[in-house]
């Protein structure tokens, strides 16, 4: 009888439905707003993610494009391919340049993961005669804002295997965003810390995909839930749904189907349990859960007894390179590539090297990064053929490919001034220009010209001091700096003066986005509900305006409550100092506005406080969502950002009105260093004064020595 009931349950589970329809612009999957397909044989590709837990029923692209009026419709066409398979061909007709086409993609062509949608154009402006391969009139423009993707899908049942299920649940291919509910007892800072650790690990697995966190004391339906806490708390929650959990021996992680209030189970969503026999075991379980990045184990539960972190160094976040170290291109994500044909089509990988520099790098002007390139190119190319090196969008150098017989070049050295780089993400691109000395119509092999760049080429970046002028909210949105100076958040405190639901959810979302920016779980982060006292690290303060302590607010650049002096920036010329008028007033930010501020710790020089606040709980929740928006993150800079929350689309206004301070490699900085860095001309004056003083001392010593020698010589003559 039990076997029959189990079989019926599985049948019902397989037929459980959770259908959804998504319609998103193609722009959501790329940074561009449009794509141009150029030349006689041009091609552009967009990758669209498909999560493994989706069962696609229908996939449709509503394609909007504009064609050049120079194209001949009889011999010009646009092909659409999915993962290399031709789906449809569209005639490029100049008589109707603005075109809309609905393209049905067979679901069988789509696979879990990233699917390449390729637009390949054959474009001609002459029926007979010899065409220029990349004539300016050969183009088709695809609007990514108007082109939409519509997906109709069902959710598949969750596999009850921890390693497989976590890949399904925390999948960065889920779009447009993801939601996770944490079931936890947030009454103490310690228990909130375990939930924060879990949220950090979850956010990292979602990569850059927006993920929103909520918390509750019970199961939230129709969403994946994480139940984390002591054995007694976890047991009481599960008991409500008739689930008995044996007392754990050490740490325990287990997956269930999401229980329902009517006694049933939602097999399309998961309940993950993270608990332990005591607080030490619970922490071990939380750390292990946050770091589960392999499809292992294949069991429903896991007992954990220890967790050992490797030694980590400062500035070890996502894609950051260490200075004074040589990196092979393969090490930093670039495989060997070949540029083929006159259009320079890429085979073998991306033509870009992307890496990060620490956000507090003081990039000096008189040093050079060094590239050592190994490459080869084909024969028969003209003297103007070249391989261009582009740094952060700036063309830096051309390498001439001027040997008619072709060549293999080993150890070609290129020096790039370091001032072309910036803290945060940097991109070095390689762009070819390949030309031959005969007409295209006489070429038998249009892919004849080529240049190959090999993965054993190297990049070296010189050593730089860690010293930056603050406050800079843009560094916070860049990679979570200064909280990620240590990648695990060591020396970071999240202070919640009023630990209500809205403040906790906002803090969890901020912890998640910091983790995503830096790519490392925040194991070292601490949470406090009470006055942090003499905390000597960085501090993230989250709470309603009325709950913020006066001891911190007195240093804030903007005082949003009571009678206070408010600075308003004044327009200035290019060569004038920053100025502001000051108004003494009693006012407030009001409803529908969020406030983010950064300023120096009132007790420790070089340490920073970032404050996230709003007038009430509703605005706090909305502010937490706004700070996950890439557009808002790109708008934060300086030390004060006011964010409009009552508009259809969030808007931010950022200014710099407070005091400037400096910070060094370890966070703290001496008063002397800070003063000299902030007063550069005084530093130069002191250096000049020291040189003059030493010169005078040297002169006096030489004069004294000469006088002594003269006296000795005079005495010898008398004798």
DSSP per-residue letters across 63-98? EEEEE-TT--TTT-EEEEEETTEEEEEEE--TTS-E
Give yes or no: residues 377 and 448 share one domain. yes
What are 260-283's pLDDT values in tens digits?
A: 999 999 999 999 999 999 999 999
Residues present in the chain in total:
719
pLDDT at residue 10 is higher than 50: no
- Would the pLDDT of 654 be above 60? yes
**Domain termination site, one of 461, 494, 528:** 461
pTM score of the predicted model: 0.87
Q: What is the CATH number of the domain that holds 407?
A: 2.60.120.260
Alpha-carbon 703 to chain mean position:
64
Query: What six digits make up the tokens of 692?
Result: 């003059």
DSSP state of 350: -
Residue 51 has pLDDT above 50, yes or no: yes
| Nearest-angstrom CA–CA distance, 127 and 124 | 7
Joined together, the tokens standing for residue 643 give 């964010």
Q: Specify if 709 maps to a domain.
A: yes
**Integer Rg of the chain from CA:** 31
Contact assessment for residue 111 and residue 85, using Cβ atoms and an 8 Å cutoff: no
| 619 touches 557 (CB < 8 A) | no
Q: HSE-up of 214 (CA within 13 Å, CB side)?
A: 15
Instruction: Verify that 336 and 230 share a domain, yes or no.
Output: no
Asked whether residue 43 is domain-assigned, the answer is yes
Tell me: do 639 and 500 sit in the same domain.
yes
Report yes or no on 312 lying in a domain.
no
Position 645 scores a pLDDT of 96
More confident residue, 116 or 561: 116
Domain count, the chain: 5
Whether 123 and 143 share a structural domain:
yes
394 and 276 belong to one structural domain: no
Q: Please report whether residue 9 resides in a domain.
A: no
Residues 531 and 660 in one domain: yes
Asked if residue 368 and residue 277 are part of one domain, the reply reads: no
d(CA 603, CA 73): 73
Q: How far is CA 120 from the centre of its chain?
A: 30
Residues 508 and 640 in one domain: yes
Q: Please say if the pLDDT value at position 5 is more than 50.
A: no
For 593, phi and psi rounded to 5 degrees? -135, 135
**pLDDT tens-digit readout, 189-232:** 999 999 999 999 999 999 989 999 999 999 999 999 999 999 99
User: Do 470 and 600 touch, CB atoms closer than 8 A?
Assistant: yes
Phi and psi (nearest 5°) for 688?
-65, -40
> For residue range 350-382, what is the model confidence (pLDDT) as tens digits?
899 999 999 998 887 789 999 999 999 988 888
pLDDT, residue 630, reads 92
Say which residues have a Cβ less than 8 Å from residue 719's Cβ, sequence separation at least 6: none
Rounded average pLDDT over 694-699: 84
Cβ atoms within 10 Å of 416's Cβ, excluding its own = 19
| Backbone angles phi and psi of 484, in degrees to 5 | -110, 20
What distances in angstroms separate CA 98 from CA 135, 141, 142, one per listed residue?
A: 21, 10, 10
Give per-residue burial for 56-90: e unless 16+ CB within 10 Å, then b: beebebbbbbbbbebbeeeebbbebbbeeeebeeb
CATH of the domain at 214: 3.30.379
Is beta strand 77-82 parallel, antiparallel or unpaired with respect to 113-122? antiparallel
Tell me: do 551 and 645 sit in the same domain: yes
Task: Compute the Cα dihedral for 471, 477, 483, 484 and give only its sign.
Answer: negative
pLDDT (tens digit per residue) in 519-563: 999 999 999 999 998 899 999 999 999 999 999 998 999 988 877
Closest CA to 495 of 554, 541, 526, 553: 541
Domain that holds residue 696: 679-719
The per-residue pLDDT for 204 is 94
d(CA 123, CA 77): 7
Q: How many CA within 13 A on the CB side of residue 535?
A: 26
The answer, yes or no, to whether the previous bond of 236 is cis (omega within 30 of 0) is no
Residue that has been written with the tokens 């509703």 in this structure:
618
Record the tokens describing residue 504, joined without a space: 């906790």
Give the domain-ending residue among 113, 140, 155.
Answer: 155
Same domain, 85 and 169: no
pLDDT at 718 over 60: no
* Contact between 254 and 292 (Cβ < 8 Å): no
Domain membership of residue 81 (yes or no) is yes
Q: How far apart are CA 625 and CA 620, in angstroms?
A: 9
Q: Is residue 445 part of a domain?
A: yes
Q: What's the CA gap between 282 and 278, in Å, rounded?
A: 6
Same domain, 666 and 683: no
pLDDT of residue 365: 78
541 inside domain: yes
| Residue where a domain terminates, one of 132, 155, 178 | 155
Q: What's the pLDDT score for residue 576?
A: 55
State the Cα–Cα distance between residues 716 and 719, nearest whole angstrom.
Answer: 5
| 117 and 228 part of one domain | no
Is 398 contained in some domain? yes
pLDDT bracket for residue 115 (50, 70, 90): very high
């Amino acid at each position: 009888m039990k076997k029959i009931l189990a079989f019926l349950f599985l049948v019902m589970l397989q037929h459980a439905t959770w259908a959804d329809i998504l319609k998103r612009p193609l722009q959501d999957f790329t940074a561009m707003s449009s794509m141009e397909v150029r030349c006689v044989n041009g091609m552009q590709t967009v990758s669209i993610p498909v999560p493994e837990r989706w069962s696609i029923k229908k996939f449709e692209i509503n394609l909007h494009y504009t064609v050049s009026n120079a194209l001949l419709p009889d011999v010009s066409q646009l092909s659409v391919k999915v993962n290399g398979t031709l789906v449809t061909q569209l005639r490029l007709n100049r008589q109707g340049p603005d075109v809309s086409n609905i393209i049905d993609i067979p679901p069988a062509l789509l696979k879990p993961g990233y699917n390449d949608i390729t637009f390949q154009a054959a474009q001609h402006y002459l029926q007979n005669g010899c065409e220029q391969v990349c004539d300016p009139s050969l183009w088709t423009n695809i609007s990514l804002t108007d082109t939409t993707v519509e997906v109709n899908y069902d959710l598949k049942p969750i596999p009850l295997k921890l390693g497989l299920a976590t890949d399904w649940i925390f999948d960065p291919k889920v779009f447009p965003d993801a939601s996770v509910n944490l079931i936890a007892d947030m009454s103490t800072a310690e228990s909130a810390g375990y939930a924060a650790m879990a949220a950090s690990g979850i956010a990292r697995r979602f990569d850059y995909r927006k993920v929103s966190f909520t918390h509750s004391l019970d199961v939230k339906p129709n969403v994946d839930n994480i139940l984390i806490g002591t054995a007694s708390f976890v047991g009481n929650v599960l008991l409500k749904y008739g689930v008995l959990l044996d007392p754990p021996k050490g740490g325990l992680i287990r997956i269930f189907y999401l229980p329902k209030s009517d006694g049933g189970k939602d097999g399309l969503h998961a309940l993950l349990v993270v608990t332990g026999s005591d607080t030490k075991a619970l922490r071990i379980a939380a750390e292990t859960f946050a770091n589960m990045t392999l499809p292992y184990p294949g069991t429903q539960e896991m007992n954990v007894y220890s967790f050992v972190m490797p030694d980590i160094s400062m500035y070890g976040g996502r894609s950051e390179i260490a200075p004074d170290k040589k990196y092979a291109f393969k090490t930093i994500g670039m495989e060997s590539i070949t540029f083929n044909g006159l259009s320079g089509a890429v085979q073998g990988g991306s033509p870009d090297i992307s890496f990060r520099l620490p956000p507090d790098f003081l990039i000096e002007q008189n040093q050079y990064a060094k590239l050592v390139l190994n490459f080869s190119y084909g024969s028969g190319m003209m003297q103007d053929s070249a391989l261009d090196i582009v740094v952060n969008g700036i063309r830096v150098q051309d390498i001439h490919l001027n040997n008619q017989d072709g060549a293999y070049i080993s150890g070609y050295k290129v020096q790039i001034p370091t001032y072309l780089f910036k803290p945060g993400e940097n991109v070095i691109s390689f762009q070819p220009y390949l030309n031959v000395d005969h007409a295209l119509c006489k070429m038998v092999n249009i892919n004849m010209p080529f240049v190959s760049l090999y993965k054993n080429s190297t990049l070296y970046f010189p050593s730089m001091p860690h010293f930056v002028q603050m406050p800079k909210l843009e560094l916070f949105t860049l990679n979570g700096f200064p909280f990620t100076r240590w990648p695990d958040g060591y020396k970071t405190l999240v202070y919640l003066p009023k630990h209500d639901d809205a403040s906790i959810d906002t803090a969890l979302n901020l912890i998640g986005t910091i983790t995503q920016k830096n790519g490392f779980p925040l194991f070292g982060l601490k949470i406090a509900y009470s006055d942090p006292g003499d905390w000597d690290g960085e501090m993230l303060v989250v709470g309603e305006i009325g709950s913020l302590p006066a001891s911190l607010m007195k240093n804030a650049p903007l005082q949003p409550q009571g009678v206070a002096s408010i600075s308003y920036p004044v327009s200035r010329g290019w060569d004038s100092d920053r100025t502001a008028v000051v108004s003494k007033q009693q006012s407030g930010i009001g409803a529908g506005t969020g406030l983010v501020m950064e300023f120096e710790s009132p007790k420790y020089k070089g340490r920073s406080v970032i404050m996230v606040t709003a007038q009430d709980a509703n605005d706090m929740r909305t502010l937490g969502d706004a700070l996950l928006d890439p557009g808002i993150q790109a708008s934060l800079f300086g030390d004060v950002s006011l964010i409009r929350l009552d508009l259809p689309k969030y808007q931010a206004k950022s200014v710099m009105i407070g005091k400037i301070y400096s910070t060094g490699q370890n966070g703290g900085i001496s008063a002397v260093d800070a003063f000299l860095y902030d007063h550069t001309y005084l530093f130069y004056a002191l250096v000049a004064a020291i040189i003059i003083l030493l010169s005078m001392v040297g002169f006096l010593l030489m004069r004294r020595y000469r006088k002594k020698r003269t006296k000795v010589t005079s005495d010898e003559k008398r004798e």
